[in-house]
Every structure is written in structure tokens, then in C-alpha cells.
Structure 1
Amino acid sequence: MSNKYTFPKGFWWGSATSGPQSEGNFNKPHKSVFDYWYEIEPEAFFNKVGPEVTSNFYNSYKEDLAMLKEIGLNSFRTSIQWTRLIKDLETGEPDKDAIRFYNDVIDETIKNGMVPVMNLHHFDLPVELYDKYSGWESKHVVELFVKFAETAFKLFSDRVKYWTTFNEPMVVVEGQYIYQFHYPKVVDGKKAMQVLYNINLASAKAIKKFRELGFNKEGGQIGIVLNLTPAYPRSNSEEDLNASKIADTIFNYSFLDPAVKGEFPSLLVELLKEDDVLWEGTGEEIDIIKENTIDFLGVNYYQPRRVMAKKYIVEDEEYWMPHKYFDYYDMPGKRMNPYRGWEIYPQSMYDIAINIRDNYNNIPWYISENGMGVEGEEKYRDENGEIQDVYRIEFFEEHLQYLHKGIEEGSNCFGFHSWTPIDCWSWSNAYKNRYGYIGLDLETQTKKIKKSGKWIKEVSKNNGF
């Protein structure tokens, strides 16, 4: 049977998870903001399931990685937890057990024929850095992050050739400082924009450190993982188009432009200045951002954003909010994933591919996350106990068809990672929606390959479908 869709030679067929969502808290020297939030407000988490055990990867990584090999994956992304690796947060001195653990994970990944991709920050700021310095609002925390990054680079760059600095940094800005869906649930536009700036700076400084240490000369590459959620206007009216342009600028280009082009979008700077919420920065910092752009880009894509021109202008809102400039548009007839409340729109894969090709130097990039969260998957078990997640296979195939079209038309995409290999813990959603190729029984911690796991094995083997 020949492929209808064949992907470039050496294409990554992989999957992504993160330290805080898979490892559990075993032997961790520090608490993250999520560990702390669960302690003070367990009811904020679905079924009160917290991050203590998650998918037990700390204890079961050997078996887990062997299962990833069994389903044919050739690459695997996870994250190194700042709260686990670093014993002394001020000096960057590492923890012995963490060195052993991450060395083992990396060696085991390679042994199983997978390229390890290591990310440094997946929302898991050490809570004491929030308590002491207000977390990402602080330039001192930027410096401490660089020390953490340096420690990780020195320990693991002999084997890890693909690094990313942050995963979905916009979620830190939105969740912690605007829309209150992550602890500390602050609503403050000025602080939010300072955090946005500081994380861009932290990423650039970590990249600078990576190159100063010479790891780029040893074949190492460093990038960032951004959640790109294209903003589609309700109509082609000037007002709607302008609303979508502003939404894209705030949510997508505020990290994409500095990462790839080394500068913030001028529209963003103008709006924030006008609204008196522009960050504090120096010329020297702006130069660091300018001179330390990424080697490759990871794109997490799940859903589009639909917007329209603002119906009513509200002058005296207490806090600055991005939606000062647009309203969300509820498009009739859109396809939905009812479990997650997200629209299913695979065409965005193509739009993202072409945007990167035409407006971002056709930088090498890959889909670093794409997936479908479904609640109550056990109802899809067959008589052998295998979850028949046909809906997930269809979801991936549709998205991959549009990605393939973008690649055919010259977009420089080198891989596709699903979220996630094994059902993992998802922040306040905990285990409500499952995403894995491999199912997890929370009670017994047993793991079993789903139908989609058998599907990806074939796709990977044939480099297409």
C-alpha cells in the first residue's frame, strides 16, 4: 500500500510531555507554583488530583520509554524541572539525584532510538522565587533562570542536541496575570506585559549562554516552543481585519517576532505605550533579544481564535485587558471537541506553515504539540480492553494533511509531535481529558497502548499514511 501523504526524509514522528505533568514529585528539592497551589486549593483541580504522582515517570521511565519505542516514535520531548534539577536556586548548583535521573532518561531515550528534545520551562516556576521576587516580574529571576539553563546545558549537551527554552510562554502571561487560570491568579495588565518582556529576555539570555558555552559548535540547536493560535476575523471588513491583526500581535507575535526576528512588533509597542502598560526595559536588553534569536521553532497548535471588531467600547475598565481591542466571535456551524470546548480546525496547520514560510524567514520548525483531549475514554474499550480512539486518529490525519500541503508548498517543517505519549496530568484539569497514544489507569498505574498507538507506529514506519 503506497502513501497518499509522504513526509520529508528524516521527519520526526514523536510525542511530547513535560516533567511536572509526568514525573511526580518524588525527591524534588523545591516546590513549583503548581505544587503549592494544589496544597492550598486542592478543589481547584479536577477530582482533586494533584501533581504528586502524575504518570509516575520518575519511577517507570524505563518501561515508559520502551513503550514509546514499541509504538515507533523516533523523537521525544520532555522538560527538565527547575524545581528538580537545581538544589541551590541562587547559585544554580544541581541536585545529585536529579543529575542521575535526567542522565538516565536521556540515555534511555537514545538507547530506544529516539532523539531527545529537552525543554527548560513548562510553567513550573519554583514557588519560592515567586514568594521572594514575584517570579517572572523580576529581572533577578531572569538571571536565576539563566543559571539553571547553564547547569542543564553543561550536564546534558553532550547528548541532547535539541533544546528549547520555554513552552507556551504566553500561557504564563495569560494564566497567571490576566485570565486567572493559573496560580497566583493576578489580574494586572502592566505586570502581565512586564512578564511577557522578561520571559522573552530570559529566553534570549539562555540562548546567548548556550552559544557562549560553544554547544552550537558541537551540533547543538536551541529554540522555543510557542502555542500559535491564529486569529481569524469574522469578515473581511476593515474593522474585523484590524481586530484579528491586534489579537495575533498580542497573543502570537509578541513571542514569535522576538524569537525569530529579534524584535517586538511595532504595533504591540505602540498599543502598550498608548495604554500605559509598556514594560520597563533597557537598550542593552533589547540588543540581547536582537542578537540571540532561535535556531528552530516548535509550534503547539490546538485550536483557532475567532474575533470581530469590538461592539461596545468600555472606557473605564479597572484593568488593561487584551480584549479591549476585539470581541470573540462565536462562528456558526464550527466543529467542536465537546470535551475540551475547543474548535477543531485543521486548516490552521496550513496557514501556520505558510505564515512561517513567508513572514518568518522560512525558519526550520516542527509541530511540537497537537492533540485531542477526550473525557471518559474507557467507554471506547473493545473486548480486549484496547481503547478504540478512532476520533484521535481522524483528528491527526486531518491535521497532517494540511501540514503536508504546507510542506509541499515549501514550508520548512521537519516533524510532528503529538501531545502526549502517555496520558498525563494536565494542570487544574488533572486527568479529566486524556491525550495519549498510551492509556493510563490512574488507580493501578498500568499503561496500555490505544488504537492510535498502533496507528502512529505504521505512520512512522512508512513516513506517511
Structure 2
Amino acid sequence: MKEIKIEVMMMAFKDGFLWGGACAANQFEGAWNIDGKGISVADLCTNGTKSNPKRITTKIEDNTFYPSHEAIDFYHHYKEDIALFAQMGFKVFRTSINWTRIYPTGMEEEPNEKGLKFYEDVFKECKKYGIEPLVTLSHYEMPYALVEKYNGWASVEVILLFEKYCYTVFDRYKDLVKYWLTFNEINGGITKLGTVLSLGCVKDYNGPVVEADCSPQTRFEALHHQLVASAKVVAYAHKNYPQFKMGNMNVFLTSYPRTCDPLDVLENQRHNRVLNWFCSDVQVRGEYPSYMNRFFKDNDVNLKISEMDKVILKEGTVDFYTCSYYMSSCITTHDDVETVEGNLAGGVKNPYLEVSAWGWQIDPDGLRYSLNEIYDRYQIPIMVVENGLGAYDKRSDDGKIHDTYRIDYLRSHIEAMENAVEDGVDLIGYTPWGCIDLVSASTGEMAKRYGFIYVNKFDDGTGDYSRERKDSFNWYKKVIASNGKEK
């Protein structure tokens, strides 16, 4: 009998797949007080390290280094940087707009024209090279004046001010930007670190960022205001700019039960529901999930959700889902377990995984698992808009940076995405984080580098801002040119 061979072909990334990279305005722009820009929450964050947490101060202190003030000065280097992105073959560039560059305090009647012109120039420069901007409206920054007056998103008044800002940039960039994200890692507001970065609920707080906190009641009120603001902005865009595609953005903090103890499985389910699913369930499905009723009851949270809020949430659902993915951790009800660091939230150590220099567990299979879970739940297109390895980049004897560790990390995660596509996931884009070196949001340092492009800038404030290609630059260029076939 003749043997019949069946070849199973790996499904390639679809034609038009959006390969690119991602940055955030407050982490790479610099020019913090130039051309009318106001003070944001990020501008009051000092530098730090893994062992010495960055602080948030209530005013600018003398003899204290604030890394966002200069960052890598994309503000004056954007043409050079976008040209380098184009050399790699970027199809998309994810960036954000500094709210305080458009409305310095968030409360002005008229926008700052110099700020509007800057982003117009950036987006036009992207278009010149055929790069599609993917713009985050709020990426871990807000006018500090709104913190002082309203305690950030804890007050409902901020919704109208955010709307005004969004509608201003929509109108200005309607012919330049198609893809928009409302809030970066919106579910990060559930964590302590997100109290500062995402919600801005730090009125009168002056100390280490990781210790900033607010009551569950305040936190979830602020998060509700963000969810309503997001829905209102999405609905407005759908009505007035049908060419726009509106997305959400979650930090996906993949977790596994540490043991097969049913209590561990239940605790992991609870963790995933609250941290990974709650915000996206609202933004994709348009309503609060029933499982949050128990959580709110157990944590003495009483939200005043009006009937109008419910209508707004239902009308403002997103077109596509995006997330950051860096690592996974374990969840357990057992004591005496080893913990690890993480993005916004750490967890219990997984003995099967290696860790990065910053203690983040490396788990490419977790990305495949996560994408399958997300797509099974929502059935809408997905982008991975942050993924990468923060590492110490050191020069070799030849004076170059041979970052094979970064290539290995990214290759394994691209292979995981490829497997997820084969599993049936509708994946439409990938923008690795910090495609050019920038200031770390979690630690406030330059030493934790992610980029394909090295920037000569250091944690003591020195450096000439010169740019150079790492080995990963040419590697990623080949990945894009082959649509993921060459890795």
C-alpha cells in the first residue's frame, strides 16, 4: 500500500500584517517644558533602579534627576528616528500624545498650537515612509494640575476634559491617523503602581511610586470614570470619523495555578477575572461582568453606575483588542513560596521558567496561550502592542552591541504568535516595546534597555543622544521583510 504523506504547513502571518515598534511620549520625547508643554504626572517621577524605587514628588526638587525631562529627546530627533524605523521596514509605529503638550493643565479653553503642530509633523514624517501611526491617547501621563484639583481620575469632571482633548486631536489628525487606542494598560489601574501611572490618584502624595496607594473604592471609581471616558471617545469617533479603528489596551498578566489544588485553580480564576478580563470585558462587550459583583461586595466597593453610563458603555465598544505581554507568573493559596518581580504586578515563581536581569519570567508559550484565550473570548482582531526584553546592553571588544539575548527572546515570542495564528487567532499586528531605547516606566532608568536602536544617554543624565544600530536592528529588518518567515 502506497504511503500517503500529509504535510502540515504553518499558516503565515497574513498579508498586510502590521510589523513595527512601540514607544510612549513621556518615556522618549523629552522637551518637558518646551513650546508650551505643561507638567504631567510623569514629569514629577524621579529616576530609580530595581533596588531603589523611583519617587513621585509634589513639585520639582533641586538636585534631583527627572528622566522624562530629557528622555532621549525624540522631540528634536524624530526625523532621524523615524528614518531608522523606516530602514527596518516598519509598517506601523505605536506612539502616544502628551496630553500636556495639547492642553498644558487640561483646563485651557484653547489648545496649544505648537503641541498640535509637533505631532502633525511626526505623523506626516511617518506617512512619508509609508508607516501607519498607531496612537495612544493616554499613556501613563495626565496634567498634574488635574491631580491637584481633582485627584486625577477619581473625579468625574475629568471625563469632559479628556473628551475635549481627544476631540481636538481627532479633528487635527483625522487624515493622518487611522488606528487609535484610548488608555494604555487600563487594567493596570487595579494595581498599586497603576494608581500613579494610570489613574493619577496621588494628590499630596510624595514618596516611592511603588508605595502609592488609594482605597479600593477610590481606585474603582477612578477606573469607572476611565471606562466611561473611553467608551464616550470611541462612540464619538465611530459617529464622526468612520475611517478610524478604535482599540483598547490591556496589560495581559498571564498566570497559572501553582498546583493542582482546586483552591489554587479557583484563586487563579479570580485573579484572571479581576486583573485580565474585567476592563476588556467592559470595553469589548459593553457592560460590567457579573463576577465583579462578588469582588465589589468583598472589597466594600460601591459604584454609582447610572443608566446613562450603561448606555455609554454599550455604545462605545472597541473594534480591535490590543495588549502588552512580557511574562507570566503563578498564583497560589499556599504559603512559603518564592515570588518574582513583574510588569505592574509580580507573582509566584514558576520553576519551569528562566528570569530576566530584572526578575521577569520569560514565557513565550504563555503568549500563545494568552492569545488563544483572548480570541476565544472576544473574536475580534488582536495586536500585541508591547513585548520585549529589558536588558543591560554592553559593548563588545569591537565596539558594537551584539544583543543575541534580545533576538532570542523576540524570536521565541514571534514563533509563539505564529503558532497562535495556526491555532486560529486573528492577529493583525506586532509592535515590540521600546524599539528605540527609552526611560523605563517601572524603574525610571535608562540602563534597562529594550531597543533595536541604542541611544547614548545614561542614568546620570550624561550622553550625547547619538543613535546606533544593535544586532537586533538588522535581524528585525529581515523578519519584517520576510513577513515573519526569517527569524
TM-score by length of 2: 0.85
SS at match of 1:418: coil
Q: Please name the residue that 1:460 is paired with.
A: 480
For the Cα contact (< 8 Å) 2:18–2:91, is it kept in 1? Answer: yes
Structure 2: gaps of 5 or more residues: 1-8, 56-63, 198-206, 337-345, 458-462
Of 409, 422, 433, which aligns to 2:448?
433
For the Cα contact (< 8 Å) 1:87–1:93, is it kept in 2? Answer: no
| 1:65-464 map, 5 Å | 65-87=82-104, 89-90=106-107, 93-174=110-191, 175-177=193-195, 182=209, 185-212=212-239, 214-216=240-242, 219-309=243-333, 311=335, 328-337=347-356, 339-360=357-378, 362-375=379-392, 377-379=393-395, 381-383=396-398, 385-427=399-441, 428-442=443-457, 443-464=463-484
How far off is 1:372 after superposition? 0.1
Q: What is the rounded CA distance, in whole Å, between the counterparts of 2:212 and 2:194 in structure 1?
A: 5
Matched, 1:23 2:29: yes
Q: What is the rounded CA distance, in whole Å, between the counterparts of 2:361 and 2:405 in structure 1?
A: 14
How far off is 1:49 after superposition? 4.8
Q: Deviations over 1:120-171 (max 9, x none)?
A: 0011011110100110101111121111111110110111000111111223
Q: Please name the residue that 1:36 is paired with.
A: 44
The structure-2 alpha-carbon separation of the partners of 1:182 and 1:204, relative to structure 1 and needing over 3 Å to count, comes to farther
SS at match of 1:306: strand
Q: What amino acid is the match of 1:215?
A: Y
Q: What is the rounded CA distance, in whole Å, between the counterparts of 1:414 and 1:79 in structure 2?
A: 20
For the Cα contact (< 8 Å) 1:17–1:421, is it kept in 2? Answer: yes
SS at match of 1:93: coil
Q: What amino acid is the match of 1:447?
A: R
Q: Deviations over 1:311-347 (max 9, x none)?
A: 59xxxxxxxxxxxxxx94323242111x221000111
Of 13, 16, 36, which aligns to 2:19?
13
Q: What amino acid is the match of 1:368?
A: V
For the Cα contact (< 8 Å) 1:23–1:57, is it kept in 2? Answer: yes
Greater displacement, 182-191 / 21-30: 182-191
Q: What is the rounded CA distance, in whole Å, between the counterparts of 2:144 and 2:471 in structure 1?
A: 39
Q: Please name the residue that 2:200 is paired with.
A: none
The structure-2 alpha-carbon separation of the partners of 1:297 and 1:265, relative to structure 1 and needing over 3 Å to count, comes to same
Q: What amino acid is the match of 1:460?
A: I
Q: What is the rounded CA distance, in whole Å, between the counterparts of 2:428 and 2:145 in structure 1?
A: 38
Q: What is the rounded CA distance, in whole Å, between the counterparts of 2:179 and 2:195 in structure 1?
A: 30
SS at match of 2:375: helix
Q: Deviations over 1:65-113 (max 9, x none)?
A: 0011112211101001101112562355211111110110000001022
Q: What is the rounded CA distance, in whole Å, between the counterparts of 2:227 and 2:149 in structure 1?
A: 21
How far off is 1:181 after superposition? 6.2
For the Cα contact (< 8 Å) 2:228–2:312, is it kept in 1? Answer: yes
SS at match of 1:397: helix
SS at match of 1:51: helix
Q: What is the rounded CA distance, in whole Å, between the counterparts of 2:128 and 2:10 in structure 1?
A: 32
TM-score by length of 1: 0.89
Q: What is the rounded CA distance, in whole Å, between the counterparts of 2:177 and 2:211 in structure 1?
A: 33
How far off is 1:456 after superposition? 0.7
Q: Please name the residue that 2:71 is paired with.
A: 54
Q: What is the rounded CA distance, in whole Å, between the counterparts of 2:307 and 2:211 in structure 1?
A: 30
The structure-2 alpha-carbon separation of the partners of 1:15 and 1:353, relative to structure 1 and needing over 3 Å to count, comes to same
Structure 1 residue ranges (4+ consecutive) displaced by more than 6 angstroms after TM superposition: 178-181
The structure-2 alpha-carbon separation of the partners of 1:177 and 1:86, relative to structure 1 and needing over 3 Å to count, comes to closer
Q: Please name the residue that 1:323 is paired with.
A: none
Structure 1: gaps of 5 or more residues: 313-326
Q: Deviations over 1:4-40 (max 9, x none)?
A: 773211111100001111111133431111213449x
For the Cα contact (< 8 Å) 2:45–2:54, is it kept in 1? Answer: no
SS at match of 2:402: coil
For the Cα contact (< 8 Å) 1:123–1:172, is it kept in 2? Answer: no
Q: What is the rounded CA distance, in whole Å, between the counterparts of 1:373 and 1:176 in structure 2?
A: 20
How far off is 1:348 after superposition? 1.4
For the Cα contact (< 8 Å) 1:32–1:126, is it kept in 2? Answer: yes
The structure-2 alpha-carbon separation of the partners of 1:172 and 1:276, relative to structure 1 and needing over 3 Å to count, comes to closer
For the Cα contact (< 8 Å) 1:161–1:221, is it kept in 2? Answer: yes
The structure-2 alpha-carbon separation of the partners of 1:115 and 1:242, relative to structure 1 and needing over 3 Å to count, comes to same
For the Cα contact (< 8 Å) 1:258–1:289, is it kept in 2? Answer: yes
Length, aligned pairs only: 439
Q: Taking every aligned residue pair, what percent have the same amino acid on both sides? A: 30
